Chain A
Amino acid sequence: QVQLVESGGGVVQPGRSLRLSCEASGYTFSSHGMHWVRQAPGKGLEWVAVIWFDGSYRYYADSVKGRFTVSRDNSRNTVYLQMDSLRAEDTAVYYCARILGTIPDLWGLGTLVTVSS
């Protein structure tokens, strides 16, 4: 079964860190780039970061640049999002999405991150 499963979300205080994971199954993970996209409560979709299939290229939204780091372990079929210096405005459901060609065609169910004191 082709799927993505995110984990690692939770409640964290402002200024603290959290690492999200996204585990892929059912396809050749190492052949595809991955996006992270987030959605604040009641809001639209906001792109966060991208990493190419081999990790050779990474790019971030301005809102998270310098605080978030995307990485991947192709031996574990997993992509990560390390989130440091978290702010209240980072509160959102975080989705990972597979890139097929240039298209984010497969999305996980999401994991909720709440930044609150």
Chain B
Amino acid sequence: DIQMTQSPSSLSASVGDRVTITCQASQDISKYLNWFQQKAGTAPKLLIYDASHLRTGVPSRFSGSGSGTDFTFTISSLQPEDVGVYYCQQRDSLSALTFGGGTKVEIK
């Protein structure tokens, strides 16, 4: 099974700061890595798919990069509405999904 290691588990930053989250896969997953945002009490929302593609309608301050085993998710200028938990996710050859442990983002 492919394991996804996400870090940090939590962070606190100021409005306007650049925020970076990393996700490492236990084996090569090519570009097949997605990023989700989950606000309190709501369902996860897809932000980035296939490592670097911004979903339509998602603000451009969100971005993703990486391939193989190492991936990065960035918020270029943190906004108050970005508070929540962010998850990376990959899909294996049997169509099972694996999620990273999540990163809780708070405003300092």
0/1 string, B92-108, CB within 8 A of A gives 1 = 00111111111000000
Among A44, A47, A52, A95, the residue within 8 A (CB) of B96 is: A47
Instruction: Give A57 to B102 CA distance when docked, in angstroms.
Output: 29
A44→B45 contact, CB < 8 A: no
Instruction: Give A107 to B94 CA distance when docked, in angstroms.
Output: 20
Which residues of B79-96 have CB atoms within 8 Å of chain A's CB atoms? 87, 89, 91, 94-96
Q: How far does the Cβ of B29 sit from chain A's closest Cβ, in whole Å?
A: 11
Count of A interface residues, CB-CB < 8 Å: 21
Give the contact stretch, choosing among A24-32, A82-90, A97-105.
Answer: A97-105
Q: How far does the Cβ of B51 sit from chain A's closest Cβ, in whole Å?
A: 11
Given contacts A102-B91, A103-B34, A103-B49, contact A44 B99 (CB under 8 A): yes
Which residues of A40-86 have CB atoms within 8 Å of chain B's CB atoms? 44-47, 50, 52, 57, 59, 61
A105→B43 contact, CB < 8 A: no
A103→B46 contact, CB < 8 A: yes
- Residues of chain B with a CB closer than 8 A to A46's CB: 99
Instruction: Give A61 to B1 CA distance when docked, in angstroms.
Output: 11
B97→A104 contact, CB < 8 A: yes
A107→B87 contact, CB < 8 A: no
- Residues of chain A with a CB closer than 8 A to B102's CB: 44-45
Q: How far does the Cβ of A27 sit from chain B's closest Cβ, in whole Å?
A: 15
The answer to whether the Cβ of B62 comes within 8 Å of any Cβ in the partner chain is no
B43→A109 contact, CB < 8 A: yes
Q: How far does the Cβ of B60 sit from chain A's closest Cβ, in whole Å?
A: 19
A47→B99 contact, CB < 8 A: yes
- Residues of chain B with a CB closer than 8 A to A35's CB: 97
0/1 string, B45-63, CB within 8 A of A gives 1 = 1100110000100000000
Which 10 A-B pairs rank lowest in CB-CB distance, beginning with the nearest? A47-B97, A107-B43, A45-B99, A50-B95, A44-B102, A103-B49, A105-B46, A59-B94, A102-B91, A44-B101
In the complex, 14 of the A-B residue pairs with CB atoms within 8 angstroms, ordered by the A residue number, are A37-B97, A44-B100, A44-B102, A45-B36, A45-B87, A45-B102, A47-B96, A59-B94, A61-B96, A95-B44, A103-B50, A104-B34, A107-B43, A109-B42
